[in-house]
């Protein structure tokens, strides 16, 4: 008798970076403890950078709208799979494929805002949660419709020959991940702190009515926030896929862990998100390597719960400010 | 009511849920549901094309049990849970493990499952329900995934990803419930009892306190309603419903694996409640019935792509029919009466 709603059997609980861990394990057997630790550290920082980018994506939308977008992980998934399409299927050169991927997912983010968030102005928090969940299911379904259930990969940006540091093998792609994360965070910070549009977006989050009164087009700002957030998700997906592959159902767990990073760093703070994301990645990687690889996904989630229970304002967030916010 | 009611209009009215005369309309709807449940197997078992609908209706009943609790939590108390598959799984695994590995009586195991689930729900619920909105959603989501990882990893206890089978069926007073019809009667009797109990909860002091919570927690606090206590209470109650449903599921299916209790099930449960109409317990029943039949029977043409249809349905309902499908019932019956 088949269970009607459980879905088919799945190998393990949606591991987002299983290949990375396997590889770490293979290399690990040959090297010293110090080398192992360096290896775990690098793996952790790499995975953590991805969480950081997801967290920054959450923060951008949250900063402007006070909405947590449950479809954030789906942007990463789409970024990875569309990148596979442009590089492997369409055989475009890498830089062009990268730009097209980011553009495509940005468009998806903008469409999502126009067709689902925009018409539901003044809806309750519960409704907003359910709408973004519905969109995430829809994206997942569309991805499965196009790409099926198999994981996909495309070659790393600059060859697959690893670097050796302190006896640990480091893929060059991890350096790309770190580089892109740094670029994204710096760009976002400059955008929000220095440019007129960025400042206008922050004003919307603070007080939409007042922002409207001084002539800021709040609707446009919300649209831009979704587009930007989708763009950064696409970048994360595009750089992580050569390391950890990508399939249609990766989004949920990535979103959960990215949200964990966002909360740990204090919701809304970019630097907090990066520090927390990397921290989360390192803790997870160390636990997987030294304690139990099966529970590595649980580690990040237990941390998320602890932070939510004990200090919902996060490590770097403002306790006073978080009290008046409607979570 | 001007015109003399005919049988047909009375039947139509059975499904009506108007706010004016809630108690009597509930009684009528209950009567209608019971009538339908008695007639359903009589018809289904004699028409070979829909003979297996009895089997599907058992699953509908099991999910109805969970979703009545979820409806109380979401629609009446205004709190979301994206982790109810975990409570369903806890009930199912406790029953399964105690019956196979410790050869305990299934009914005792079910009670043990309820006890364990209630305890876990209380421990998780107290800190979680202090959170609101997005944070609560993420916390329950995280909890659900943690429990699923536990089911996957504790191989010696749960059988790991491949699960375990040979779970015995249920029996009452020596009478074995080994065919679909007897199990159908058991499940739906429990659903009806739970429904009556839930309706009583809604119309009690607790129910009024919950609704005040849904509208404004600050106002409720100010009126002296112990909001946090009621929230945890209803959270634990909904977990208990899910646990009982889990035990029933285990003994019916006879096989358990972690993938039956994954994140997507939690989301699907919420989806059923929302599609039916979350502000109304009858909506939860309608949504469960519709989506279970869709997933189990009518979406087979879509094979694996049912997820796409689910997403579209949920999105369409939230966007265009925020009160859910049940909201259409009074409107339709009004049209029916006029015509």
Query: Cα-flanking dihedrals φ and ψ of residue A169, to 5°?
Result: -90, 120
Task: Give CA–CA dist A131/A117, Å, rounded.
Answer: 8
B7 pLDDT above the threshold of 60: no
Specify the pLDDT at position A9.
Answer: 38
Nearest chain A CA: its distance from B7 CA (Å)? 36
Q: Of A73, A39, A42, A237, which Cα lies nearest the Cα of A154?
A: A237
Q: Share the mean pLDDT of chain A.
A: 84
B21 pLDDT above the threshold of 60: no
A36 pLDDT above the threshold of 50: yes
Across the range A163-176, mean pLDDT stands at: 82
Q: How confident is the model at residue B111 (pLDDT cuts 50, 70, 90)?
A: very high
Nearest CA in chain A to B63: A5
Domains (ranges, CATH) in chain A?
Answer: 18-315 (1.10.3470)
Q: What percent of chain B has pLDDT over 70?
A: 91
Q: Model ipTM?
A: 0.81
Specify the pLDDT at position B13.
Answer: 40
Interface of A with B in 199-258 (CB under 8 A): 252-253, 256
Q: How confident is the model at residue B110 (pLDDT cuts 50, 70, 90)?
A: very high
Is A123 buried (19+), middle (13-18) or exposed (0-12) by CB count in 10 A? middle
| A251-262 tens-digit pLDDT | 988 999 999 999
Task: Give CA–CA dist A211/A214, Å, rounded.
Answer: 5
B5 pLDDT above the threshold of 90: no
Specify the pLDDT at position A15.
Answer: 44
Q: What percent of chain B has pLDDT over 90?
A: 35
Nearest chain B CA: its distance from A161 CA (Å)? 34
User: Cβ separation of B315 and A138 shorter than 8 Å?
Assistant: yes
| A100-148 tens-digit pLDDT | 999 999 999 999 999 999 888 778 888 888 899 999 999 999 999 899 8
Which chain A residues have a beta carbon less than 8 Å from that of B167? Answer: none
Kindly state the greatest CA–CA separation across chain A: 65
- Identify the residue with better confidence: B171 or A253: A253
Nearest CA in chain A to B323: A127
B258 lies within 8 A of chain A by CB: yes
Specify the pLDDT at position B200.
Answer: 86
Is B175 buried (19+), middle (13-18) or exposed (0-12) by CB count in 10 A? exposed
B332 pLDDT above the threshold of 60: yes
- Identify the residue with better confidence: A165 or A237: A237
Specify the pLDDT at position A238.
Answer: 94
- Interface contacts A/B by beta carbons within 8 Å: 175
Nearest to B78 among A9, A126, A140 (CB): A126
| A274-283 tens-digit pLDDT | 999 999 999 9
B131 lies within 8 A of chain A by CB: yes
Which of A141-145, B198-202, B241-245, B317-321 is the most confident on average? B241-245
Q: How confident is the model at residue B209 (pLDDT cuts 50, 70, 90)?
A: confident
End-to-end CA distance of chain A: 42
Specify the pLDDT at position B39.
Answer: 85
Q: What percent of chain A has pLDDT over 90?
A: 39
Which chain B residues have a beta carbon less than 8 Å from that of A9? Answer: 161-162, 257, 259
Task: Give CA–CA dist A153/A242, Å, rounded.
Answer: 6
Across the range B216-227, mean pLDDT stands at: 75
| A180-202 tens-digit pLDDT | 999 998 898 889 889 988 888 88
Nearest chain B CA: its distance from A248 CA (Å)? 11
Q: DSSP H helical segments within A207-269, as ranges?
A: 208-213, 218-244, 251-264
B251 pLDDT above the threshold of 70: yes
User: pTM score, two decimals?
Assistant: 0.84
A227 pLDDT above the threshold of 80: yes
Nearest to A308 among B135, B262, B265 (CB): B135
Specify the pLDDT at position B186.
Answer: 92
Specify the pLDDT at position B143.
Answer: 94
Q: Of A59, A102, A6, A88, which Cα lies nearest the Cα of A270?
A: A59
Least confident of A10-14, A155-159, A229-233, B296-300: A10-14
Specify the 3-state DSSP secondary structure of A170: strand
Least confident of A23-37, B141-155, B174-188: A23-37
Task: Give CA–CA dist A235/A178, Å, rounded.
Answer: 12
Specify the 3-state DSSP secondary structure of B256: strand
Which chain B residues have a beta carbon less than 8 Å from that of A327? Answer: 131-136
Q: Share the mean pLDDT of chain B.
A: 83
Cβ(A66)–Cβ(A235) under 8 Å? no
Specify the pLDDT at position A29.
Answer: 53
Q: Name the DSSP letter for residue A165.
A: E
Specify the pLDDT at position A140.
Answer: 92
| B72-98 tens-digit pLDDT | 998 888 888 999 999 999 999 999 999
* Helices and strands of chain B, counted as H and E runs: 15, 4
Q: What percent of chain A has pLDDT over 70?
A: 87
Q: Of A87, A60, A54, which Cα lies nearest the Cα of A72?
A: A54
User: Cβ separation of A263 and B318 shorter than 8 Å?
Assistant: no
Q: Which helix (H) or strand (E) holds B172?
A: strand B171-172
Q: Which residues contact A311 (CB under 8 A, 6 or more apart)?
A: A319
Phi/psi class of residue B103: alpha, beta or left (left: φ > 0; alpha: ψ in -120 to 50)? left
A18 pLDDT above the threshold of 70: no
Across the range A85-100, mean pLDDT stands at: 93
Q: How confident is the model at residue A317 (pLDDT cuts 50, 70, 90)?
A: low
Interface of A with B in 59-118 (CB under 8 A): 67-68, 70, 116
Specify the pLDDT at position A237.
Answer: 94
Which chain A residues have a beta carbon less than 8 Å from that of B82? Answer: 133
Specify the pLDDT at position B16.
Answer: 37
Check the CA dihedral B217-B320-A140-B64 and report its sign: positive
Specify the pLDDT at position A31.
Answer: 57
A3 pLDDT above the threshold of 60: no
Is A91 buried (19+), middle (13-18) or exposed (0-12) by CB count in 10 A? exposed
B74 lies within 8 A of chain A by CB: yes
């Amino acid at each position: 008798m088949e269970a009607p709603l459980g879905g088919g059997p799945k190998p393990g609980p949606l591991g987002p970076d299983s290949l990375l861990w396997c590889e770490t394990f293979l290399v690990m057997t040959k090297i010293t403890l110090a080398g192992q630790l360096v290896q775990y550290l690098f793996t952790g920082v790499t995975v953590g950078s991805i969480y950081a980018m997801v967290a920054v994506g959450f923060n951008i939308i949250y900063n402007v709208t006070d909405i947590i977008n449950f479809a954030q992980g789906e942007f990463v998934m789409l970024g990875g799979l569309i990148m596979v399409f442009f590089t492997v299927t369409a055989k475009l050169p890498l830089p062009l494929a990268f730009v097209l991927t980011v553009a495509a997912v940005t468009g998806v983010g903008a469409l999502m805002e126009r067709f689902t968030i925009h018409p539901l102005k003044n809806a309750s928090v519960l409704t907003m949660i359910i709408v973004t969940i519905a969109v995430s299911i829809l994206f997942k379904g569309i991805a499965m419709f196009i790409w099926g259930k198999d994981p996909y990969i495309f070659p790393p940006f600059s060859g697959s020959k690893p670097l050796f540091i302190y006896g640990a093998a480091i893929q060059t792609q991890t350096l790309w991940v770190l580089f892109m994360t740094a670029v994204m965070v710096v760009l976002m910070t400059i955008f929000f702190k220095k440019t007129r549009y960025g400042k206008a977006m922050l004003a919307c989050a603070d007080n939409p009515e007042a922002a409207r009164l001084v002539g800021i087009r709040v609707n446009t700002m919300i649209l831009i926030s979704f587009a930007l957030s989708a763009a950064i998700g696409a970048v994360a997906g595009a750089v992580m896929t050569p390391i950890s592959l990508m399939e249609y159902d990766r989004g949920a767990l990535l979103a959960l862990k990215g949200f964990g990073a966002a909360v740990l760093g204090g919701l809304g703070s970019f630097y907090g998100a990066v520090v927390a994301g990397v921290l989360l990645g390192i803790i997870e990687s160390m636990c997987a390597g030294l304690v139990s690889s099966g529970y590595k996904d649980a580690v990040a989630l237990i941390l998320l719960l602890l932070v939510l229970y004990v200090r919902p304002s996060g490590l770097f967030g403002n306790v006073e400010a978080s009290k008046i916010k409607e979570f | 009511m001007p015109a003399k009611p005919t049988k047909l209009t009375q039947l139509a009215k059975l499904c009506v849920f108007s706010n004016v005369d809630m108690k009597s309309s509930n009684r009528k709807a209950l009567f209608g549901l019971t009538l339908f449940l008695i007639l359903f197997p009589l018809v289904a078992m004699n028409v070979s094309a829909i003979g297996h609908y009895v089997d599907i209706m058992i699953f509908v009943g099991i999910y109805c049990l969970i979703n009545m609790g979820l409806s109380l939590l979401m629609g009446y108390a205004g709190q979301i849970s994206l982790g109810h598959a975990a409570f369903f799984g806890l009930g199912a695994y406790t029953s399964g493990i105690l019956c196979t590995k410790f050869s305990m009586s299934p009914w005792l195991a079910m009670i043990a499952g309820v006890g364990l689930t209630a305890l876990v729900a209380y421990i998780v619920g107290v800190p979680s329900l202090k959170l609101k909105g997005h944070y609560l959603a993420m916390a329950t989501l995280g909890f659900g995934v943690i429990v699923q990882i536990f089911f996957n990893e504790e191989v010696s206890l749960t059988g790991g990803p491949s699960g375990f089978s040979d779970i015995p069926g249920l029996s009452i007073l020596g009478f074995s419930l080994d065919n679909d019809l007897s199990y159908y009667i058991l499940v739906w009797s429990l659903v009806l009892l739970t429904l009556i109990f839930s309706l009583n909860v809604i119309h009690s002091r607790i129910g009024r306190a919950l609704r005040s919570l849904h509208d404004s927690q600050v106002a409720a606090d100010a009126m002296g309603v112990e909001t946090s206590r009621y929230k945890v209470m209803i959270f634990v109650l909904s977990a208990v419903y899910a646990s009982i449903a889990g035990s029933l599921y285990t003994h019916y299916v006879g096989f358990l694996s972690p993938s039956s209790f994954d994140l997507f099930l939690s989301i699907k449960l919420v989806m059923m409640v929302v599609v039916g109409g979350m502000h109304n317990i009858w909506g939860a029943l309608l949504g469960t019935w519709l989506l279970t039949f869709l997933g189990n029977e009518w979406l087979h043409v879509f094979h694996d792509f049912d997820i796409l249809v689910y997403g579209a349905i949920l999105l369409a309902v939230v966007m265009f029919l925020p009160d859910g499908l049940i909201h259409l019932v009074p409107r339709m019956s009004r049209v029916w009466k006029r015509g």
